[in-house]
Chains A and B, each alone.
Chain A
């Protein structure tokens, strides 16, 4: 059957395509601009005004400057360490914890669930957390970036929901065969919940990658700064003096160098982005089932 379309709907369809194309362009273009600016000659770029469609006087100068930056590499190293060790800690606590909290055989399930959810509602706040981390002797240590965020309550609940949705008959028949709860978790629950596990690994990973605030509070040694805190120094605190050669073009150099820093630090994510995107999208849906 041919669907009748009113004239106004046809006009709407036309503008709809224009509006959505604009959304797509505005989402993408700032990153393109950053890329083109980072490949521009620092001095010439300073004189340029408005949008870029190609680099102003193509030059790798800014990237040469970035490679001389003392803290970008150490930032990458710190971030990778925190990411890998942090993820391991996250999974070691979240997976077994969520499994126990999903198990109907666990006597204190309701109590501990309440204890966990309460922390989503109320927290001591910034200063008490700082004083606690200080009292534990974690200041200026990578552990200060790992332990306070060892469990994300939201991820824990997602995982618990996934474990709870496994048909209880599977665990019961395994119990009859003499399997312990540890074996049931490892051999039955974890393999069945792989998609959800993938999602929370991604969530934890992104959380570690993006984190800078705790590092600003807890880390004093600059060589231990994670990448995002180095980025804050470079992009926000405008600590670009250490990387400019001086002279008249200092300001222009700093701008294009900043853009080069953005590209260098965002490239890994943007390369992974096309591959990971659908898992993230799936994650939104997993989280939405029951947040």
Chain B
């Protein structure tokens, strides 16, 4: 009955004039119209702004009035002193996060999974989420104060023979500060998804393993880890897809000219050159490079994800 209904409806819309679908489903069109307008105004029209990358852009002349100079801005960017070093900084920070910050919540989830006491578990979990609720500006304000030459973290490190210094002015320390604070911010929150994967594991598997005399270690390796492996793979691919998207807001809040050598990433360079120094063409060209590589990486990681886990990322 339902199928018949649908078929007749579809057949009807083919035979009727072009506006029939609009009249029949006018509410759907009204509902989606603001959305479409939004995406055009704030996502698609700005893409025309990419033309600036090929121009010697002069604000008073506008995008369509400025002179066209081909790939000069790109040549400037690729052969200039910043391309290689900022790309390297971006990749170094991303990979450091991948190596240290990515596994941290998985380990936390596994450790919590071995805790029998519900109260202890939920208190630990709740407290570990707390940093996630502190805004980035405040987190960075705290990092700045704590790592000043008389800051509390510096004080503590001095006890272990560390040289007293303003840590954020030392380019050698920037990546460590960035990564360690990232672990602090994300370990609890990012563990939620693994914890829920762990609670979905069939408890009978453990009981069966017990009867077979498997040790706890064997159970972790043969039951627990395989059960969260798909989640880990998906999260990993998401990370790899956005490897050039280092959290530049945090970089901009933490870096200073003394640490540009290790701290400045592509996005922060794009921001500074474009919106502080008004080097529009250069900045847009650099941004376009960043966007294109990002898109390629995302498509690639989605392809891999679809193959490996049969789950598309989008």
Q: Which residues of A contact B (CB under 8 A)?
A: 1, 3, 5-6, 8-9, 12-13, 16-17, 19-21, 23-24, 26-28, 30-31, 33-34, 46, 49-52, 92-94, 96-97, 99-101, 103, 105-108, 112, 115-117, 119-132, 136, 147-148, 150-151, 156-157, 169, 172, 180-182, 185, 209-210, 212-213, 217, 228-229, 231-232, 234-236, 255, 258-259, 262, 265-266, 269-270, 273-274, 277, 280-281, 284-285, 288, 291
Report whether A125 and B284 are in contact in the complex, using a CB–CB cutoff of 8 Å.
yes
Partner of A125, one of B34, B135, B192, B270: B270
Residue numbers in B under 8 Å from A93 (CB-CB): 34-35, 38
A151-B38, A182-B31 are known; give 14 further A-B pairs, CB within 8 A: A23-B124, A27-B130, A28-B130, A50-B159, A105-B28, A120-B298, A125-B287, A132-B46, A151-B35, A185-B27, A228-B137, A234-B141, A265-B138, A277-B129
Residue numbers in B under 8 Å from A291 (CB-CB): 238, 313-314
Q: State whether A288 and B111 are in contact (beta carbons under 8 Å apart), knowing that A31-B130, A51-B152, A126-B287 are contacts in the complex.
A: no
In the complex, A49 Cα to B151 Cα: how many Å?
8
Can you list 8 A-B contacts with CB-CB less than 8 angstroms, sorted by A residue number?
A5-B216, A8-B217, A132-B49, A217-B275, A228-B136, A236-B137, A236-B144, A269-B135
Partner of A20, one of B47, B111, B136: B111
Residue numbers in B under 8 Å from A34 (CB-CB): 142
Residue numbers in B under 8 Å from A262 (CB-CB): 138, 141-142
Q: State whether A127 and B39 are in contact (beta carbons under 8 Å apart), knowing that A107-B21, A185-B31 are contacts in the complex.
A: no
In the complex, A33 Cα to B217 Cα: how many Å?
39
In the complex, A128 Cα to B41 Cα: how many Å?
12
Q: Which residues of B contact A (CB under 8 A)?
A: 2, 5, 21, 25, 27-32, 34-36, 38-39, 41-50, 52, 63, 108, 111-112, 114-115, 120, 123-124, 126-131, 133-138, 140-142, 144-146, 150, 152, 155-156, 159, 184, 187-189, 192-193, 196, 210-211, 215-217, 238, 249, 252-253, 267, 270-271, 274-275, 280, 283-284, 287-288, 290-292, 294-295, 298-299, 313-314
Report whether A235 and B38 are in contact in the complex, using a CB–CB cutoff of 8 Å.
no
Q: State whether A213 and B249 are in contact (beta carbons under 8 Å apart), knowing that A27-B131, A266-B135 are contacts in the complex.
A: yes
Question: Is chain A's binding surface mostly helix, strand, loop or mixed?
Answer: helix
Report whether B49 and A131 are in contact in the complex, using a CB–CB cutoff of 8 Å.
yes
Report whether A132 and B35 are in contact in the complex, using a CB–CB cutoff of 8 Å.
no
Residue among A96, A101, A125, A156 with most chain B CB within 10 A:
A125
Q: State whether A50 and B274 are in contact (beta carbons under 8 Å apart), knowing that A27-B131, A210-B135, A236-B141 are contacts in the complex.
A: no
Closest beta carbon of chain B to A101's beta carbon, Å: 7
Report whether A106 and B35 are in contact in the complex, using a CB–CB cutoff of 8 Å.
no
Closest beta carbon of chain A to B11's beta carbon, Å: 14
Report whether B140 and A236 are in contact in the complex, using a CB–CB cutoff of 8 Å.
yes
Residue numbers in B under 8 Å from A103 (CB-CB): 28
In the complex, A99 Cα to B43 Cα: how many Å?
21
Report whether B187 and A23 are in contact in the complex, using a CB–CB cutoff of 8 Å.
yes
The residue of chain A having its C-beta at the shortest distance from the C-beta of B238 within the complex is A291
The residue of chain A having its C-beta at the shortest distance from the C-beta of B140 within the complex is A236
Partner of A127, one of B29, B124, B280: B280
Report whether B38 and A9 are in contact in the complex, using a CB–CB cutoff of 8 Å.
no
Report whether B128 and A24 are in contact in the complex, using a CB–CB cutoff of 8 Å.
yes
Report whether B270 and A127 are in contact in the complex, using a CB–CB cutoff of 8 Å.
yes
Closest beta carbon of chain B to A33's beta carbon, Å: 6
Residue numbers in B under 8 Å from A129 (CB-CB): 42, 46, 49
Partner of A232, one of B128, B137, B284: B137
Q: State whether A28 and B127 are in contact (beta carbons under 8 Å apart), knowing that A107-B21, A120-B314 are contacts in the complex.
A: yes
Report whether B145 and A258 are in contact in the complex, using a CB–CB cutoff of 8 Å.
yes
Report whether A1 and B210 are in contact in the complex, using a CB–CB cutoff of 8 Å.
yes
Closest beta carbon of chain A to B126's beta carbon, Å: 7
Report whether B115 and A122 are in contact in the complex, using a CB–CB cutoff of 8 Å.
no
